[in-house]
Amino acid sequence: MIEILNPTQLGRARRTGALVGHILQTLKLRSAVGVNLLDIDRWAREMILDAGAVSCYVDYAPSFGRGPFGHYICTAVNDAVLHGLPHDYSLADGDLLTLDLAVTLDGIAADSAISFIVGEARPAESVAMIDATERALAAGIAAARPGARIGDLSHAIGTVLAEAGYPINTEFGGHGIGTTMHQDPHVSNTGRAGRGFKLRPGLLLALEPWIMVDTDELVTDDDGWTLRSATGCRTAHSEHTIAITPGGAEILTRV
Ligand code: MG
Ligand code: MG
C-alpha cells in the first residue's frame, strides 16, 4: 500500500520529523569518547518519552530479526551499518558511529540516520564515505518532486555512490513512510531513471543511501540484529524523511 497524507497529517509529519532530527543532533553532540552505546539508547528513550512519542523500534519484530528489537535507537559502529543493536561498548576516538532513529508522534512516523566520527580523529576513508552518503542523499532529494518516478531517485542516489567508487547493496534501501515506519514504495539505492511509482504531493519517503568501503555483502552479527560488512570494512549511512509537496521535496528530519 502506498499512503498519501492529507494536509493535517502532513502537519503532524513535520512535527515528528523535527523531533527525530532534534533527538539525533542532541545524541550526536553527546556521543563523545567513552560514552557507552547503552547510554545513547537510554537518552533516546528519555527524549522519545518526554516528547510523548512512541518508538518504532522497541517492539519491532520483522521476519529477519530475532524477536522484538527491545531498544530505542540503532547504534552501528565501524563495520556495523544497519539495525545496530545497542550493547555494552564505549566509543573510542575515530569510531564511525551511525545513529538511526524512527518514532511516531500523533500517529505519523519519521525516520532518519546520521553517520559521524567520534572524538578528534578524522580517518580520511571514513570522512569520504560519510560525505558520499550525504551527497547521494542530497541528490535523491533533489530528484524528488511531483511527477518524478522512484527510479529517478534511485538513479540519482546510485550515480553519486558509484562515481565515488562504492559497491551498492540492493537488499535494503529507502521506503515509503506515513502512519507506519516501513511502507511501499521501496526506494533502491541504485536503479534506472523513468521507472516505478510516480511521486505526488502527500507522499512521504525515507531515503537512505548506505555503503561499505569494499563490499556489497552483509553478515548478521551473533546478536541476531546488527548487520555488518562481510569484509569487516567500515560503513556509512545517511537518511532523511521527505514529503513530496507541489513545489518539490521538503526535508522533514533536518534540524
Ligand atoms: Mg532509519
Ligand atoms: Mg528507514
Return the DSSP state at 198: B
The answer to whether the Cα torsion of 227, 229, 230, 231 is positive or negative is negative
Nearest alpha carbon to residue 16 among 157, 248, 177, 207: 177
Query: Ligand 1 center to residue 92 CA distance, Å?
Result: 24
Q: What is the mean pLDDT of the chain?
A: 97
Average pLDDT for 10-24? 98
Would you state the cell numbers that stand for residue 204, as one nine-digit string?
Answer: 512521504
The domain locations on the chain are: 7-251
Q: What percent of the chain has pLDDT over 70?
A: 100
The pLDDT value recorded for residue 67 is 81
Instruction: Give CA–CA dist 242/103, Å, rounded.
Output: 15
CA separation for the pair 217, 109 (Å, rounded): 29
Please give all residues whose CB falls under 5 A of ion ligand 2, grouped by chain where several chains appear.
111, 206
CA of 163 to the centre of ligand 1 (A): 24
Residue with cell 553519486: 160
34 CA to centre of ligand 2 in angstroms: 28
Cell, residue 245 = 509537496
pLDDT value at residue 158: 98
Residue 63 has pLDDT above 90, yes or no: no
Smallest-distance ligand from the CA of 181: 2
pLDDT of residue 106: 98
Q: Is the pLDDT of residue 66 over 90?
A: no
Which CATH superfamily hosts domain 7-251? Creatinase/methionine aminopeptidase superfamily (3.90.230.10)
Question: Could you read off the pLDDT of 185-236 as tens digits, one per residue?
Answer: 999 999 999 999 999 999 999 999 999 999 999 999 999 999 999 999 999 9
Mean pLDDT of 56-70: 87
Above 90 in pLDDT, residue 62? no
Whether 109 contacts 181, CB under 8 Å: yes
Cell 527491545 belongs to which residue? 70
Residue 34's pLDDT is what? 98
Do residues 238 and 186 make contact, with C-beta atoms less than 8 angstroms apart? no
